Amino acid sequence: MANPKAGNTQEYISFFPKWKNHFEAIHKILQTTELEESIKWGAPCYTLKGKNLIGMVGFKNHCAVWFHKGALLKDDKNVLINAQPGKTQMLRQIRYKENEAVDTQLLENYISETIENEKG
């Protein structure tokens, strides 16, 4: 399924009514951070000092939060997925299916760790 082109995050969310509640919960958390929000590769992307750190994407059967340097995260809860083992080195994602709620505390922790890792 090709993603339509979104001009901003709210427009992107509107393209995926199935994932609206998930995206709104994720977006609410990301808005509380110092990350800059933009649209890259047709989806919301969150950066720090020009470095891509986090993405928010929707698909037919799941939506996900992408951590561009996710391999560096501790992942104590073992929730990060490497979608393409052998191809993808750093990118990891947390996937959500329709009946799964966003664990906001867990996501906040992973986002905070991502930001701290980038700051060094």
pTM, two decimal places: 0.93
Average pLDDT over every residue of 61-90? 96
Tell me, what's the pLDDT at 1?
42
| 4 pLDDT more than 70 | no
Asked whether 54 and 35 are in contact (CB, 8 A), the reply is: yes
Average pLDDT over every residue of 92-104? 97
Q: Is 22 helix (H, G, I), strand (E, B) or coil?
A: helix
Secondary element (H or E) of residue 66: strand 63-67
Confidence of residue 111 (pLDDT cuts 50, 70, 90): very high
Pick the CATH number of 9-119 from 3.30.10.20, 3.40.50.300, 3.30.420.40, 3.90.1150.200: 3.90.1150.200
Asked whether 43 and 3 are in contact (CB, 8 A), the reply is: yes
Q: Is 58 helix (H, G, I), strand (E, B) or coil?
A: strand
Asked whether 39 and 6 are in contact (CB, 8 A), the reply is: yes
Domain spans in the chain, listed from the N-terminal domain onward: 9-119
| 56 pLDDT more than 60 | yes
**CA-to-CA distance for 29 and 60, rounded, in angstroms?**
23
Average pLDDT over every residue of 19-23? 97
Confidence of residue 5 (pLDDT cuts 50, 70, 90): confident
Asked whether 110 and 102 are in contact (CB, 8 A), the reply is: no
